[in-house]
Structure 1
Amino acid sequence: MIFDLLGPSLEDLFNFCSRKFSLKTVLMLADQLIDRLSYIHSKDVIHRDVKPHNFLMGVGKLGNQIYVTDLGLSTESRDVQAEEVDDLADAQHGDFDDPSDVPVEDVDIPARKPNLIGTAYYASIKGHLGVVQHFCDDLESLGYMLIYFIRGSLPWKGLKATSKNEVAEMVLERKRTISTRELCQELPQEFASYFDYLRSLPPNAKPDYSFLRKSFRDLFTREGFEYDNVYDWTILKYLIANR
């Protein structure tokens, strides 16, 4: 397989920027990321592992363009419509030979039927439960990612347990019990509205991507930002080069 040479991942750039992005950078990222997922979903594909490591920036003239990578866990929507999980508990429990304290960010959900293996830190609630995922699940993971970028962490960071499975269960419980208002506390209303919209949709419904992009774009305009593709790392690299 031949793949374009790409630049750093969003996680790399997040670390480069001292693990905090400005609201302007997050909103410009959100605009592109929703568009990328919209395109993938238009092909009846669900990514199922949306996280900062799987989005890379381009290089050269395409340095401001985001690329989606690692489709190894993706599946076609039409192939999963009829899938059901016989025992949800099976999707939440797995055996590990060497239990130890495991950072939440490194935890993968144990594979069961259907074959859902996502990173616990960003996985949707359905991803945790082992039930069939749909388009909204990718967007739910994206929402967690945006909050992570603007805050530097998520409410379930730092949980300690004796196994990967136990950590995943603790993260799931936090995601199921936290309200959108608490999750998006002190952030602009548009972030809570993003999650409220996704949760209001009926099962298997296709989201209105234009509506979600417009919501964030309206916030961008209201804040007086200029859509100039000048991200936080752009400014930081310039400052470092001109010391």
Structure 2
Amino acid sequence: MTQLQGTDKETNQRVAIKLEDIYTTPMGQSATEFEGELYPQLPNNTFPELLWTGKTKGGLYDALVTDLLGPSLQNLWVYCDNSFGMDTLCNIAIQALQRLKALHRKGIIHNDIKPSNLAMGSGTKGNTLYIIDYGLATRYEDIQGWEKVPGGVTGTAHYAPLEAVRDKRMRSYRDDLESLGLTLVELAKGALPWDATPSGKVLEHRERVTLDELCAGLPDVKFLLEHARSLRFEQQPNYDPLIRRFQRRRSEPGKGKTWVFDWVRRRYERMQEKMEKREADMEMERQAQMEIGEREAHVENRRRSRDEEDDGEEEAPPRRRRRQE
């Protein structure tokens, strides 16, 4: 799978391009081809817009072209030193829950919710959260009745629900919610407890971690994970109470001020630091120039003073040699 950026020659619009070699799936439908079929079913406005899908010239790749969004939460999280404050975390949770609600209402399960698959918009939509990358998504109608069919880990195991890691059930709506909960824990704390655990011992480690330990200091995330684990296979989460909990948790629940994300604040702070450094450098340069000017003026004044002293003295007559006798 190859991710690229390009420019639409007709509109001059920047676009995101996904390419998948057809030889990686010679006998079946590629993930990119499936994603191209799924996009028209996604809700409007808050999901990436599909611009074109099909095979490239020569038929070597399945291609998907969408509008180009802003940075992913993974990149923004690194930019903010691997930690988000509570307001930013709540704003992410609120929008992610709204997107999952819209997605699940369409009968679509994402199966790979993680920071790199959550991206912010660009331009006037810079504060809008998007869920991206539907190559591993499933339609509920295609898996209905498969509750007892082992599903295993689909997507990134790091954020997979515990039961999926145990390989005991097919993924459903509830599992998108659990993956979101684990994502929020990582974004708040900087890491999940099993980050450094060898792959063969991840399940053993995860089974020892209680929700109280995992969500210490994050009661609303704990409530979200408990709700996800209480759902049946066919049930969709009760999104609205979850959204309201995160809305109440923000420092100013009813004000737009809380939609200023940490990365916006960090960018502003860094711009301020650069401006202050530039001003300090300019001030140092001014001081240096003033000192140079003062030294040059001092030297010039001393030179003039010597010249004036020399001009004021009468030249002594030449001394005669005494005649030798």
> Same fold, TM exceeding 0.5?
yes
Q: Give the aligned partner of residue 39 of structure 1.
A: 102
Specify the code of the residue in structure 1 equivalent to 2:75: D
CA contact (8 A) 1:14 1:20 kept: yes
- State the structure with bigger RCO (CA 8 A, min sep 6), 1 or 2: 1
Q: Give the aligned partner of residue 210 of structure 1.
A: 240
Specify the code of the residue in structure 2 equivalent to 1:148: E
Q: 1:191 to 1:46 in 2, by over 3 A?
A: same
> In the alignment, is residue 170 of structure 1 matched against residue 208 of structure 2?
no
Q: Give the aligned partner of residue 287 of structure 2.
A: none
Q: How does 1:143-222 map to 2 (within 5 A)?
A: 143-160=181-198, 167=199, 169-185=200-216, 187-220=217-250
Q: Give the aligned partner of residue 102 of structure 1.
A: none
Specify the code of the residue in structure 2 equivalent to 1:127: A
Q: Secondary structure at the match of 1:153?
A: coil
- 1:21 shift after superposition: 0.6
Specify the code of the residue in structure 2 equivalent to 1:159: T
Partner Cα distance (2:152, 2:196) in 1: 27
Specify the code of the residue in structure 2 equivalent to 1:174: H
- 1:135 shift after superposition: 0.6
- 1:216 shift after superposition: 1.2
- Which among 145, 167, 178 is matched to residue 140 of structure 1? 178
Divergent runs of 4+, >6 A: none
- 1:115 shift after superposition: 7.7
Partner Cα distance (1:136, 1:157) in 2: 23
Larger Rg: 2
Q: Secondary structure at the match of 2:130?
A: strand
Q: Secondary structure at the match of 2:154?
A: coil
CA contact (8 A) 1:120 1:171 kept: no
Please identify which structure carries the higher strand content: 2
Specify the code of the residue in structure 2 equivalent to 1:139: L
Q: 1:147 to 1:84 in 2, by over 3 A?
A: closer
- 1:116 shift after superposition: 4.9
Q: Secondary structure at the match of 1:3?
A: strand
> In the alignment, is residue 9 of structure 1 matched against residue 85 of structure 2?
no
Q: Give the aligned partner of residue 75 of structure 1.
A: 138
Partner Cα distance (2:237, 2:120) in 1: 25
Q: Pick which of 200-209 and 132-141 moved more.
A: 200-209
> In the alignment, is residue 118 of structure 1 matched against residue 155 of structure 2?
yes
Specify the code of the residue in structure 1 equivalent to 2:174: C
- 1:179 shift after superposition: 1.8
Specify the code of the residue in structure 2 equivalent to 1:189: P
Aligned Cα root-mean-square deviation (Å): 1.9
What TM-score comes out, normalization by structure 2 length?
Answer: 0.60
Q: Secondary structure at the match of 1:121?
A: helix
Q: Any gaps of 5 or more consecutive residues in structure 1?
A: 89-113, 161-166
Q: Any gaps of 5 or more consecutive residues in structure 2?
A: 1-51, 53-64, 275-325
